[in-house]
Amino acid sequence: MERTFVAIKPDGVKRGLIGRIIQRFEDKSYKIVAIKMMNVTPEIAAKHYEEHFGKPFYPELIDFITSGPIVAMVVEGRNAIKGVRHIVGSTRPDEADVGSIRADFSSYSTTNLVHASDCPDSAEREMHLYFNDNELCENYKTMFELIIDDHGGFKQ
């Protein structure tokens, strides 16, 4: 199983979309193994967006992610990074696939509701930026895991 980091950004929290966004992941049988609402400090924001340091839009990213609470999550499942990013949709909502979170709920590329890690290295770095290992709740099975075996077939 693969894990990835997801954050519902301040605009998603302010618009009351937390439950609807989480439901999209759970509907596709992804498991939430860590979740918390928090205010992102400027220090965490700088580490999160370090690859964009020096770019013209960097200050706007920092200002936005620190403008209100986020909901940080670790999501687990088969091909979680690719699958979660598909559910989230393109960074530009006007280019996102119909049915994705950003296509359905967002209008702007900067305030686009959700962040999802783009690769295994980013997922690992971002998960550890927002969560300690003892905050991961991995010792439970979802209904999907109880019904489906490791090979994708139904248990008997």
Q: Which tokens in the block code for residue 41?
A: 């400090």
Say how far residue 56 (Cα) sits from the centre of its chain: 24
Closest of 21, 41, 45 to residue 32, by C-alpha: 21
- Catalytic-role residue among 48, 52, 86, 115: 115
Strand ranges (E), the chain? 2-8, 31-38, 70-77, 114-116
Kindly state the DSSP code that residue 51 receives in the 8-state scheme. G
Q: Is 115 one of the annotated active-site residues of the chain?
A: yes
Active-site residue list: 115
